[in-house]
Amino acid sequence: MKVLVAVKRVVDANFRIRVKADGSGVELDNVKMAMNPFCEIALEEAIRLKEAGTATEIVAVSIGPAKAEDTLRQALAMGADRAILVLHDGKAEPLGIAKTLAAIARTEAPDLMLLGKQAIDDDANQTGQMLAALLGRPQATFASKLEIAGSTARVTREVDGGLQTLEVALPAVVTVDLRLNTPRFVSLPNIIKARAKPLAKTTPADLGVDLTPRLKTLKVEEPPPRKAGIIVNSVGELVDRLRNDAKVL
């Protein structure tokens, strides 16, 4: 079984971003970048499927600037077999990314496509669902458990009211949630080995995909700051403040 995993290079999850003073976007110069945490979970799951003998090949794909090669090298160091970098500078939206991944999937013909449920930069939560739609294949989003049995995947999903289990016919798109697994750390020998693994480069034009954004970003702002709070000294004072100042009790 061949598994395709999409990975995105994003601002590190622990980094507190700043909005540019001119309101044109978020300051990305000299900012620590990392693999989107949900993509890491997707990749870890693919590697576990390969270690269990279920998957035979893992192809990692990223769409982004030349620097996204770092993210793919990390994916190779974690355990992907080969990588495809679709070079694209500038903004790309989930619809364009899904079209790019669909074009690659038509050539690669994976049995399973694993994606993070959302990227922690645009917080869109769309790409996996769009990819499944474009390929006319089933989707199982927000997965917290994945089992492959023959030509189906049994997926437990985290939904608003609890959990739900679906069976989807392969090939399928599965987007992963936080509790599916804990990604491994990459060892130094594996980082060195990853340098020799194949990494192919292509472009949206080569794939026949148009990444022109459909949304115009008119303005980016910091959220309004909350007014400074106070430290109370006792439970009694807290209850008094909530009753008489804030009037919420």
Partner 1 sequence: MTTLLIADGDATAHALTAALQMGSDVHILEPTSPILAESLADAIVALAPAYDAIVAPATSTGKNVLPRVAALLDVMQVSDIIAVVSPDTYRRPTYAGNAIETVQSTDAKKLITVRAAAFAATPTDGIPRVTATVSDGSLSRLVAEMPSETSDRPDLTSARIVVSGGRAFGSKEKFDALLVPLAARLNAAIGASRAAVDAGYAANDLQVGQTGKIVAPDLYIACGISGAIQHLAGMKDSKVIVAINADPAAPIFAVADYGLVGDIFTLLPELTAAL
| Smallest distance from partner 1 to CB 200, Å | 25
What are the beta bridge partners of residue 158?
163
Strand partners, 116: 176
Sites for partner 1 among residues 141-160 (CB under 8 A) = 141-142, 144, 154, 157-160
Binding mask 86-125 for partner 1 (x = CB under 8 A): -------xxx--x------------------xx-xxxxxx
Which region among 66-74, 78-86, 127-135, 191-199 touches partner 1 (by CB under 8 A)? 127-135
Q: What residues between 167 and 226 interact with partner 1 by CB under 8 A?
A: 167-169, 172, 177-179, 213-223, 226
Site for partner 1 in 35-94 (CB under 8 A): 38, 93-94
Q: What is the CA angle 113-107-121, rounded to 5?
A: 45
Nearest Cα residue to 183 out of 34, 4, 24: 34
Q: How far is the CB of 131 from partner 1 (least distance, A)?
A: 8
Q: Is residue 19 near partner 1 by the rule CB under 8 A?
A: yes
CB of 59 vs partner 1, minimal distance in Å: 22
Tokens 């000299």 map to which residue?
A: 30
- Which segment (56-64, 133-141, 184-192, 193-201) binds partner 1 by CB under 8 A? 133-141
Q: Are strands 139-149 and 172-176 parallel, antiparallel or unpaired?
A: parallel
d(CA 86, CA 10): 16
Instruction: Residue count of the chain, please give it.
Output: 249
State how far the Cα of 221 lies from the Cα of 217, in Å rounded to an integer: 11
Helix (H, G, I), strand (E, B) or coil at 53: coil
The smaller minimum CB distance to partner 1, of residues 27 and 206, is found at: 27
Residue 133 lies near partner 1 (rule: CB under 8 A): yes
